[in-house]
Amino acid sequence: MTTEAASGPVAKISARIVAGHGYGAIMANVSLAELIALFAYDNDGVARGTDANLDYGLAGALLIDLALAGRIDVAGKYVVVTDPAPTGDRLMDFALHRVQRDRRARTPREWIIRFTKDVRSAVLSQLIDAGTLRRETDKVLKVVPRTRYPTQYGSEPPAETEARQRIRAAATRPDRVDARTAALCGLVSALGWEPHVVPDLPPMQVRNRFAEFRQSVWAANTVQRIIDDARAASTAAAAAAGATA
């Protein structure tokens, strides 16, 4: 195994993560937030998982995109702007501007929660503008309105296919994993999507491997803590309601 490791926004995983990108040309043109959205929606445009969890994952991915672009980092407990130059990505630049102009320092948790309000619609709009997805409206049982985001041609987009291949390689051959793929694995771990993203591999092997990546990526770790806290609060509320019934 190599002894090189990524530095800066994605913390080190000893002997596992190497600096640089290393991903293919297709995946290079798609943000982590867009990849998480592609993982979340099946080819028919129906979202998997809970709405709240997906929004946390997208917001966390947005922060990681900015970090890997060298625009933000974490200093102490707070997210700081290290380079205010535009990235050329509409959503990333909007988020960067918000962090830069905010009057107070905020933690990764605060920014993830703040970005959940608009991040899904913004990411889906970018994928629609790029011709990757399309927006369709219909009614479930001819009564309940529904908006779907199917893939443009009814098959898995090339960027998603490439991302799945890189994630599978990270799970089975983790000797050299680039920082961006490691961050994507960490987000998949935070959301608990391992069985969905790589269903053909032993679940425990993938879960343990991706957990290592997640623990090295501050935004992915924060996403999992937010989800865990929300789940605990929901369980406590249900227990309290049952006790008073």
Q: Give tens-digit pLDDT for 111-135.
A: 999 999 999 999 999 999 999 999 9
pLDDT, position 213 = 94
What are the tens digits of pLDDT across the range 182-213?
A: 999 999 999 999 999 999 999 999 999 999 99
CB 65 within 8 A of CB 31: yes
Q: Is residue 23 pLDDT above 60, yes or no?
A: no
Mean pLDDT of the chain: 87
Q: How large is the average pLDDT for residues 159-163?
A: 94
What residue has token string 């679940």?
A: 203
pLDDT, position 47 = 86
pLDDT, position 107 = 97
Between CA 95 and CA 37 the distance in angstroms is 17
- Using CA atoms, how far residue 216 sits from 10, 90, 96, 110, 202, in Å, is 7, 27, 22, 19, 22
- Using CA atoms, how far residue 96 sits from 86, 101, 199, in Å, is 8, 9, 35
Structure tokens at 119: 């991040």
Instruction: Give the rounded percent of residues in the chain with a pLDDT score beyond 90.
Output: 70
Give the residue extent of every domain in the chain.
17-237
Q: Is residue 48 pLDDT above 70, yes or no?
A: yes
pLDDT, position 4 = 31
Please state which CATH class domain 17-237 belongs to: mainly alpha
CB 78 within 8 A of CB 106: yes
Q: Is residue 18 pLDDT above 70, yes or no?
A: no
pLDDT, position 233 = 83
**3-class secondary structure, 41:** strand
pLDDT, position 52 = 74
Encode 102-113: b = buried (16+ Cβ within 10 Å), e = exposed: eeeebebbbbbb
CB 189 within 8 A of CB 213: yes
Q: Is residue 24 pLDDT above 80, yes or no?
A: no
What are the tens digits of pLDDT across the range 162-171?
A: 999 999 999 9
Q: Where are the beta strands (DSSP E) in 8-111?
A: 17-18, 72-75, 78-81
Radius of gyration from C-alpha coordinates of the chain: 18
Instruction: Give the rounded percent of residues in the chain with a pLDDT score beyond 70.
Output: 84
Q: Is residue 221 pLDDT above 90, yes or no?
A: yes
DSSP, residue by residue, 107-161: -HHHHHHHHTTTHHHHHHHHHHHTTSB--EEEEETTTEEEEE--BTTSS--HHHH
Q: How large is the average pLDDT for residues 52-77?
A: 95
CB atoms under 10 Å from CB of 202, counted, come to: 11
pLDDT, position 245 = 60
pLDDT, position 26 = 61
Residue 71: closest CA among 93, 104, 91: 93
Q: Is residue 27 pLDDT above 70, yes or no?
A: no
pLDDT, position 239 = 72
Between CA 97 and CA 88 the distance in angstroms is 12
Q: Is residue 21 pLDDT above 60, yes or no?
A: no
